[in-house]
Structure 1
Amino acid sequence: MINATVLDTPIGPLALLEHDGALVGGGFTADPRELHVRLHPALRAHDLTEVDDLGDITKAHIAYFDGDLTALDTIAVHQPGTPRRERLLAALRQVRPGETVTYAELAARAGLERTAARAAGQACAQNLVAPVVPCHRVLPAAGGTGLKRYGGYYYGAERKQWLLAHESGH
């Protein structure tokens, strides 16, 4: 069974999905089913049950949005994938609050060749555990102006901008 809850956050509802004590889904939506259908088939096979609270997972998210920027570090996550993708997502969890990297830097941190920036971008696009696996901390190397300088983010550039500002104390 996959347990799901939805938290109210300063940037909208955040659905959280838990299985066997690990966070398997997290995303800015009021409907946990939107995440459930995107899960790895082995996880998607489990029924989804909405609950009021996910215990420590819920507490850590509340603490994060209240200003404890390292609160999410203690949450166990499970995102099945290829070994390369798992290395990229593990490297992504090592990017600290207030820090940003490019896709090429993320690939290098994962021990992959710098030409693996495209794979890093794909891993971020497929990340289903936001903001615990902080793909919002990856910026395009090209930069840009306005919201374009933040690059893509599944939940919108405005949310990415808010998360980065929250983590840098602005």
Structure 2
Amino acid sequence: MNLTDLTAPGPHELAALHARLEQAAADADLLDVAYRTLDTPVGTLLLAATPVGLVRVAYEREGLDEVLAQLAARLSPRVLRAPARLDDTARELDEYFAGRRREFDVPLDRSLSTGFRGEVQRSLPLVGFGTTATYAQVAALAGRPAAVRAVGTACATNPLPVVVPCHRVLRSDGALGGYVGGTDAKAALLALEGAAA
């Protein structure tokens, strides 16, 4: 046999090989961070999970390769595209975007949310579906009413946007304020929830 007799594997063979790799990594407990992408009305989202739970949701504008590199550096270099591990998250997001879900039930890994930022991010689900709060109100919810700017930073660095609803936090003048997915995505999420901005 010479090299010209070899052909590159087709898409089905590659998919089968990848599935075997996913299974082998999971069986050997070598899969620390699984990821997949999901097309949504606000763009493509990267979903990543550890064995503890969903650890990262990223918008395409964040640079998905950069986000994966950050996960490898901060959590573990053992990162693999393993969509099946994120099926429940994808299903819940699909239900949310279809208007059939108001809260998320998937387990969360909050290891990327520490200190006061983590406290703020844990307070965000208190701002319920269809409602909004100001940065000052969220600072009060987190127990530090004077920390309005720090709340803005916590929202901007939320590793779990959409699922942990930083999009529901507005400026005190009612303006949208910034959002990791862009103001169009923030407005679309608020419109989906029927929240007044």
Same fold (TM over 0.5): yes
The one-letter code of the counterpart of 1:95 is V
Distance 1:37 1:94 in 2: 31
Correspondences of 1:43-122 after superposition (within 5 Å): 43=75, 45-53=76-84, 54-72=86-104, 74-80=105-111, 81-112=113-144, 114-122=145-153
Structure 1 partner of 2:39: 8
Distance 1:169 1:137 in 2: 8
Normalising by structure 2, what TM-score? 0.74
- Could you tell me which runs of 5 or more consecutive residues in structure 1 were left unpaired when the two chains were aligned: 144-148
Shift of 1:94: 1.8
Normalising by structure 1, what TM-score? 0.85
2:151 maps to 1:125: no
Structure 2 partner of 1:155: 181
Q: Identity across aligned pairs (percent)?
A: 35
The one-letter code of the counterpart of 1:77 is L
- Indicate the RMSD between aligned Cα atoms, in angstroms: 2.2
**Which secondary structure does the structure 1 equivalent of 2:47 belong to?**
strand
**Which secondary structure does the structure 1 equivalent of 2:155 belong to?**
helix
Q: Please, which of 159, 163, 166 is the counterpart of residue 135 of structure 1?
A: 166
Shift of 1:133: 0.9
Q: Aligned pair count?
A: 162
Q: Cα deviations across residues 64-111 of structure 1 (Å, max 9, x unaligned)? A: 111123242x12222334332221111102211111111110011111
Q: Which has the larger radius of gyration?
A: 2
